[in-house]
Amino acid sequence: EKPASQILPQDYPTLMSGDPLKLTCKVNRVTLNIKWKKNGASDIPRAQISPRTGEEITLYIENVVQDDSGVFSCEAYNMACAVSSTVKITVRGKPY
């Protein structure tokens, strides 16, 4: 059986600097490992990633900045294969 990966929400509204970002990745029971990535890199220094609880894992950034914009992906792995889902995040600076 193949792993499954779905990021919620699938369409994220544009954020303003200082807003919180919360992404939840839903996986299925055959998923053995989960990785969050941003623009293809697994190092997301400002993100807090919760421990997996059942079939969910959450990525959270308390106060986003414009540099947090990008394509976030959740990759689910098992012995058979890997699958991923993505969501594009746009952060705008606060108007003066």
The answer on pLDDT for 90 being more than 90 is yes
pLDDT greater than 90 at residue 18: yes
| Average pLDDT value for residue range 63-67 | 96
Quote the mean pLDDT of the chain: 94
Average pLDDT over residues 8-24: 93
Residue 54 tokens read as 């059942």
For 22-41, how does the pLDDT look when each residue is reduced to its tens digit (9 = 90+)? 999 999 999 999 999 999 99
Neighbours of 74 (CB within 10 A): 24
